[in-house]
A and B are shown apart, each in its own frame.
Chain A
Amino acid sequence: MDLSLSTRTVGDRTIVEVGGEIDVYTAPKLREQLVELVNDGSYHLVVDMEGVDFLDSTGLGVLVGGLKRVRAHEGSLRLVCNQERILKIFRITGLTKVFPIHTSVDEAVAATD
């Protein structure tokens, strides 16, 4: 399965819904999407990963890059993920300490700190 991306806004947050596989082939598309959002002035991003079937270190690199970009504008990047196999890769790389990870989009949108 390829990567699917869609965005919508809720208040000052931009929700990026990601589906499919994020790997060395598809990660550049996600990178482009995040860069475009930041360039257009969206600095508070929520990346909804509930539809993601596969994530590798290239995908992690893109998310870290996104975080770096929004932070340069005092923004935020929150993740929504409940899938154990995806959470595991954040855990083994120590990135659970870097990204706020939420169980629902509503929770991520409501979060402030």
Chain B
Amino acid sequence: MPTVELLFSAQPEHVRTARLVAAQVARRAGVDEASLDEVRLAVGEACSRAVGLHRNNGVEQPVRVLLNEDEKKFSIEVVDEVPGTAAGGSPDAAEDSAAEDEGEMGLAVISGLVDDVEVIEGDRGGVIRMTWPTVSV
């Protein structure tokens, strides 16, 4: 079970809430203060991308954010419910290429920011998993 699980409807205004929650849980988990800006930005990018995917594909399920505190690491998984997005999105979303470009820019920012990041595509949707080391207090 994750330390904190957050579900929010795919609306842009909730992305800020996800950033704040993620940064606060990361701080408590012992992520270095200097990395908290990265956590905030990376989780915001991942959530913005997920919100865009849900909205462009008419998915009504919420976006899920799983915050996991382990012994020496802290990980965040942002889970969308849109299958096969790595291959360029569903055919329905083809006309909204600007929004997809933004999603790809978001992924580029995440890759630039976070050393340990995995993008997993499944039949039911995608997961962006980002991990940071923690320091014991």
Contacts and interface: CB of A to CB of B under 8 A. Distances in A.
Interface in B1-50: 12-13, 15-16, 19, 37, 40-41, 44-45, 48
B102 A58 contact: yes
A92 B114 CA distance: 11
Contacts of A24: 12, 15, 44, 48, 51-52
Interface string A82-94: 0001000100110
A50 B45 CA distance: 22
Nearest to B106: A57
Nearest to B110: A57
Contacts of A56: 41, 44-45, 48, 106, 109
B108 A93 contact: yes
Contact of A23 (B16, B52, B112): B16
A54 interface: yes
A92 B108 CA distance: 9
B107 to A, nearest CB: 9
Contacts of A93: 105, 108-109, 112
Q: Which of A21, A24, A54 has the most CB of B within 10 A?
A: A24
B93 interface: no
Contacts of A85: 37
A23 B15 contact: yes
Interface of B: 12-13, 15-16, 19, 37, 40-41, 44-45, 48, 51-52, 101-102, 105-106, 108-109, 112-113
**The 10 A-B residue pairs with the shortest CB-CB distance in the complex, in nearest-first order:** A92-B112, A25-B12, A24-B48, A57-B105, A24-B12, A57-B106, A25-B13, A85-B37, A57-B109, A56-B44
